[in-house]
Amino acid sequence: MEMKQKAISVKSLQKQIEQLNNRLVQSERINVSGIMLSAIVHDINRALTNILGTAGIRLLEETIDDSVREDFERIKLSAQTCREIINNLISFVKTEFRLTKTDIHKLIDLCVDLCQYQLVSSKIEVVRNYDKNIPLVNISMSDMQHAIINLILNSVDAVSENGKVMISTDYLKKSKKITITVSDNGGGIPRKNIPNIFIQFFTTKSQRMGLGLTIADRIIKKHNGFIDVKSEINKGSSFKITLPI
Ligand SMILES: Nc1ncnc2c1ncn2[C@@H]1O[C@H](COP(=O)(O)OP(=O)(O)O)[C@@H](O)[C@H]1O
Ligand SMILES: [Mg+2]
């Protein structure tokens, strides 16, 4: 090899090493901030549990004034919103992903229970329509729970009082798939927004972060599945998760 060519290849190797080094420093930085974020999240969650617990206990008192009750309800709802945001942040840094054979209907019931406060306070009816033939599904339970809750909470945000959220499942035996559909009779999604709703930080709400669908989509893709959306203005929206089994 000629001297000039050798010099060029050494230079390009040096450049590659430099780039690799930079990437390593970057990933260590991400790792450290991930650990820090977990610690912060843990402490914030503990504080939120205190706020939610205290507000919850005061709300059980029958003798408190209506205006005080309203204040505590607002405190409770805001603390729950903070928890939702925090949980979304956790899933950005979390790397653990363990699959377990799961009864999907039990998991959906748990998701509905965890959204009970939001559902009850907005007087939303939940209609479940389960396909009893669904076999156990291999999923990461905490992640799938997170994805389904994000869809339910979006429906809660979309429907007005006395709205309806429908959750149904289907077993597609031939294609070895299952589907979980969360639909609502809310305001629907304008057609021009549909391409954006899965993009991180896209939101049309003043007090939300726009991470819910990004995370749900990521979780479902990690399970080798996908999400379909159908929506009609003033009629409602429907999010269908398809998972292989
Ligand atoms: N069920 C739904 N009905 C109407 N709009 C929805 C629904 N689900 C999602 N969207 C729209 O998609 C956007 C992004 O949703 P998401 O990623 O969960 O973020 P966020 O709920 O924080 O706004 C929402 O702001 C809303 O405009
Ligand atoms: Mg959301």
Q: For 119-176, what is each residue's pLDDT tens digit? A: 888 899 999 999 999 999 999 998 899 899 999 999 999 998 889 999 999 999 999 9
For ligand 1, mutation pick of 83, 119, 155, 197 (most atoms within 8 Å of CB): 197
- Ligand nearest the Cα of residue 209 is 1
User: If you take atom 8 of ligand 1, which residue's CA is the nearest one?
Assistant: 154
Helix axes 212-222, 66-93, angle to 10 degrees: 40
The β-bridge partners of 154 are none
Ligand 1 centre to CA of 206 (Å) is: 11
> Coil, strand, or helix at residue 172?
strand
Domains observed in the chain: 3-93 (1.10.287), 100-244 (3.30.565.10)
Ligand 2 centre to CA of 152 (Å) is: 9
Tell which atom from ligand 1 comes closest to the C-alpha of 208.
22
pLDDT band per the 50, 70, 90 thresholds, residue 243: very high
Residue-wise pLDDT for 39-66, tens only, equals 777 788 888 888 888 888 888 888 889 9
| b/e 94-131 (16+ beta carbons within 10 angstroms → b) | beeeeeeebebbebbeebbeebeebbeeeebebeeebe
In this prediction, residue 195 carries a pLDDT of 95
Instruction: From residue 103, give the alpha-carbon distance in Å to each of 140, 142, 161.
Output: 12, 13, 31
Ligand 1 centre to CA of 72 (Å) is: 26
The encoded tokens of residue 2 equal 């000629």
Parallel/antiparallel/unpaired status of strands 236-244 and 125-129: unpaired
